[in-house]
Structure 1
Amino acid sequence: MSAAETPNVSAKTYQVSDGIGASWMLARREWTRFFRQRNRVTAAIAQPLLFWLLFGTGLKGSFSGAGELDFMQFFLPGTIALIVLFTAIFATISVIEDRREGFMQAVLVAPVGRWPVLVGKVVGGSAIAWVQAIVFLALVYAFGTAALSWTVLPLLLLLALMAVAMCSLGMIVAWPMDSTQGFHAIMMLGLMPMWLLAGTFFPIPSLDARASVGQWVLGSIMRANPLSYSMVEMRRLLYPAIDFAAYGFAPSPMICWVVTIAMAFVTTTLAWWLMRGNRKVDVIV
């Protein structure tokens, strides 16, 4: 390598290391803001827990799922997913707040590029969602709602992938937005139906000759929802003794993992493409 090329290489190395430091700073800032806002800590766990207890207790006697699961057990994966979803909403809405306060503009003019913003926001928000889900999961195992087994390890990895996918999806919505009210409206319009149509609140209907037209439409939409595959695998990992394939829609673990990884990759890539291509949002206040 010639002497003329050495400064370029060292400059590039400096930018990469500086970008990693900027990402870490943004992720750490998300953690600091989260724990300083105690209402977020309480709401992110208390609201899904309240839903789980109310719906689980109220519908426990009128529902029988795969392997004789009651509704509280069936609704458990949906509650965990709801924790991740709420955290993604609260974590990514800070993008709009940072832009209004001028912090985001200061970050964007830094020489490290735009990828630290995405990495810092997604890693910070995903880590918060992941830890909250673990806290709730520990309570579930402590009270015996699900039996603790070796499947907890792949379950933690699955939750991390889901957290990354949801936070990246939140970044896709938040980046071009200039209104927190509009952000909440879009997130509720998109994420809540996505959560409901993932087999969280009711089983995915089977598509056979006895199914009605409405069941075919609903079942097809739920099968096209990538979150449905994450929910199937989460339910399988929580209750490994049950063969869910014998009771309805339950793709193989390989398919569920591939779809979950693809969902995290696609949402993160789209968020990165949007941040690089949409320069108009840099001046939104």
Structure 2
Amino acid sequence: MRALRALWWRELLRLANNRVHMVLMLLNPLLFLLVLGTGLGSMLDSGTGDGDYVSYLFPGILLMAVQAPALAAGLSIVRDREVGLLRGVLVAPVRRGTLLIGKCLGSATAAALQGGLLLAFAGFAGLSYHPLLLLALLAELTLIALTMTAFITLASVWITRITTFQSASSLAMLPLFFLSGALFSLDGLPLWLRVLTLLNPLTYAVDALRQTVAHGLPAGTFEPGLDWGGWVPPLGLELAVMSGLGAVALTLAAHRFARAE
């Protein structure tokens, strides 16, 4: 537990000591929210008032803000292995799986805190700053960040070269983000594309955030919820699915990392 706490705290100190990098990583989500949200929102007429698309887009922007720090966590593992710095950590009298889990937990916390900074713009999306609503969104962001970090960490223990990891992560994360419903509704999509969205784990992350956001908006602003053949999965089930997937990915990553290289 001391090793886990030390590694978790190390990632938070790294975040606090690199504030410029933290601000730069938030610029892209802010541009999507302020520019894309306002621009497309002015073109779309949903008939329920102004600013509806910005409200609909806000959960996807929160996911985007968490995605970038999670990718950076996996990249740091690959970089440390390639340059030899990882060996200095592995000589510690602690199980390798513990080291990986501690780093993953710290990186997920840092990613959730960065994503949580965007909650300051909740009013721009028409949300109230009710403490319970903000705490619920922050808790969901933490769970999503942990799941994403676990999957990216799993990839980082298999891929040993920085250039290969960067190419593979970019190739995977961009389609997953676009197929999550973060930017557009999944209703009316062709069958083959809808099947891909339902197989995408990020779809359930976006929908969980969107269901929570809908509780802070006037009734009828937009209708969240996925459609599984006429059945809408509840918020608790979506969070449970993400938790299970994250636990499996983290277990596999720790098992792989514990093997001698």
User: TM-score normalised by the shorter chain: which range applies?
Assistant: 0.7 to 0.9
**Higher Cα radius of gyration:** 1
What does residue 189 of structure 1 align with? 171
**Aligned ranges 1:1-285 → 2 under 5 Å:** 20-64=1-45, 70-141=52-123, 143=124, 145-149=126-130, 150-206=132-188, 215-240=190-215, 241-242=218-219, 249=227, 250-277=232-259, 279-280=260-261
Cα deviations by residue, 1:211-235 (Å, 9 ceiling, x for unpaired): 7xxx101111111112212211211
Mark the runs of 5 or more structure 1 residues left unpaired by the alignment: 1-19, 281-285
Instruction: Please give the per-residue CA displacement for 1:165-190, whole angstroms capped at 9, x wherever unaligned.
Output: 11111111212333222211111111
Amino acid at match of 1:55: L
**Paired AA for residue 91 in structure 1:** A
Return the offset for 1:88.
Answer: 0.4
The 1:231–1:242 alpha-carbon spacing in structure 2 relative to 1, beyond 3 Å, is: farther
How far off is 1:27 after superposition? 2.2
In the alignment, structure 2 segments of 5+ residues that lack a partner are: none
Distance 1:147 1:67, change over 3 A: farther
RMSD: 2.4
Structure 1 pair 118/246, CA: closer, same or farther in 2 (3 Å)? closer
The 3 A distance-change label for structure 1 pair 61 and 114 is: same
Percent identity reads 27
Provide the C-alpha distance between the structure 2 equivalents of 1:273 and 1:62, rounded to a whole number of angstroms. Answer: 50
Deviates more, 1:66-75 or 1:260-269: 66-75
Measured at CA, do residues 245 and 140 of structure 1 come closer, stay the same or move farther in structure 2, by a change above 3 Å? Answer: closer
Q: TM-score, normalised by structure 2?
A: 0.86
Distance (whole Å) between structure 1 residues aligned to residue 145 and residue 175 of structure 2: 17
* Contact 1:155/1:237 (8 A) holds in 2: yes
Q: Matched residues in 1 for 2:27 and 2:133: separation? A: 26
The structure showing larger relative contact order (alpha-carbon pairs under 8 Å, at least 6 residues apart) is 2
Which shifted more, 85-94 or 145-154? 145-154
How far did 1:67 drift?
5.9
Q: Is the 8 A contact 1:61 1:70 kept in 2?
A: no
Residue by residue over 1:26-64, the C-alpha shift from the partner in whole angstroms, topping out at 9 and shown as x without a partner, is 222222333333442122211111122221122112335
1:127 partner amino acid: T
8 Å contact from structure 2 (residues 210, 224) kept in 1: no
Q: Letter of the aligned partner of 1:261 in structure 2? A: S
Deviation at 1:247, TM superposition (A): 8.0
